[in-house]
Amino acid sequence: MTSPTDMLRNEHRVILRALVLLEVAAGRLSGGQPLRDGLWEELLDWLRAFADRNHHAKEEQHLFPALGEPGVPTPGGRVSVMLDEHTEGRALLQAMAAGAMGRRVEAARLYGQLLRDHIDKENGVLLPLAETVLDPQSQLLVARGFEKIEMELGPVAVLEHAEAVVDRLAAALGEA
């Protein structure tokens, strides 16, 4: 069985690929180049479904609370920073979905940078910390929680499906 931290790292890899596509799409829009009808919305839908409702939910509902058990501070600590960044990312996703195109493009740029920095912090600090402080039983409980989220969300939460959607979006942008 894949460890919960490895699951999150694998999801990070796919999210980073999607961020490249977001930046390509935003760059085209800012340069006045049209995108295929619905492509921007499909990309945002993927980010909402996979990065937020799946990936961030796994962290918020299962990993972060498990880190509190062995005494990793939540208020004012690393976990609090991660939660604040999830909230900021959600606001930027909303900004990318509505309003003037210039504002959407700027929100996409900010979102991409936020998530890259966020993923660096998680991969470099938080996930190694989790591997150190969570005993095997705790890791198993976190992994089961992750599986529950995937079952509730269905195919959109499955890594292989997420990768296939990113591949399709990349092809639509000519970035395959």
pLDDT at 76 over 80: no
Report how far residue 150's alpha carbon sits from residue 158's, in angstroms, rounded to the nearest whole number: 7
pLDDT at 73 over 70: no
Residue 78: per-residue pLDDT = 83
DSSP string, 31-68: TT----TTHHHHHHHHIIIIIIIIIIHHIIIIIHHHHH
Residue 69: per-residue pLDDT = 75
* HSE-up of residue 108 (Cα within 13 Å, Cβ side): 28
pLDDT tens profile 13-28: 999 999 999 999 999 9
* Full-model pTM: 0.94
User: What average pLDDT does the chain have?
Assistant: 93
pLDDT tens profile 85-127: 999 999 999 999 998 889 999 999 999 999 999 999 999 999 9
Report how far residue 3's alpha carbon sits from residue 136's, in angstroms, rounded to the nearest whole number: 10
- Beta carbons of 108 and 26 less than 8 angstroms apart: yes
CA-nearest of 110, 133, 9, 103 to 59 is 9
For the chain, helix, strand, coil in percent to 5 are 85, 0, 15
Mean pLDDT of 50-62: 96
3-state SS class at 170: helix
pLDDT at 55 over 80: yes
